[in-house]
Amino acid sequence: MHKNIPFDESPENANLLLQEKINFLQKALIKEISIEDKDLFLFFLDIAQKIICRDHRLLTFYRKEYRSNNFQNQLNLESSSNQARLKNDFEIEIIRLFTNSFINIMSALEYCLKDILTKKLPVIAERIDRYSTLRNIVKELEKENIISQESSNLWHGLIFFRNALVHNNTYAIRTNTYKFSEKVILKLVEDKPIKSHIKQTIFFIEWITNEYYNLVRKIFNILIA
């Protein structure tokens, strides 16, 4: 398995490593699934790769603008407090970039899993109508031992995080803690805003693509059993 992205990488390097990771997962899946199922199972990773490549272009543009002589000259004319504010505004733009990518990738995952289950595991799909949420899909996959109870719990953490970002102005609707690793712990506190961090969000995107790879392999093994 391709090694995970070091948590302390810069956003630029982490983005490039994430592109490499998704490319690795795509090639690995191609070796394990049938040719006729390739498009169906690879569609989500294709979407994720396009989103990450777009992020690279935008991140390069943001950094180029920030380092430009015009911006730096403008920055030097500002007071110390305004300089700090402008620098912070720039970092917030980067955070928003990756946060939006996380949201888009979660939405794409929901669509793609519904499509896979409908076409390949209709028995499960019958229990998940077209209006069902990703949370319901995860529950059904856990029932079928396609994902573990531990993974299911972490998936629910990401779903609550995504829903808070999209529907509740970043405010959590419940209190819980989800430990992904020693360095990545998602803490939700009811009625408190959830802070987005660039490194954490990149970790979540990588985690999602890794988990997708694992569950697709299990689904394909069910099909050929």
In a domain, 145, yes or no: yes
Q: State the average pLDDT for the chain.
A: 91
Arithmetic mean of pLDDT, 173-182 = 95
In a domain, 4, yes or no: no
Q: b/e per residue, 22-57, with b = 16+ CB within 10 A?
A: beebbeebeeebeeebeebbbebbebbbebbeebee
Residue 179: its pLDDT value, please? 96
Residue 131: its pLDDT value, please? 66
Distance CA 49, CA 74 (A): 35
Q: What's the total number of domains in the chain?
A: 1
In a domain, 100, yes or no: yes
In a domain, 6, yes or no: no
Give residue-wise pLDDT tens across range 106-129: 999 999 999 999 999 998 998 887
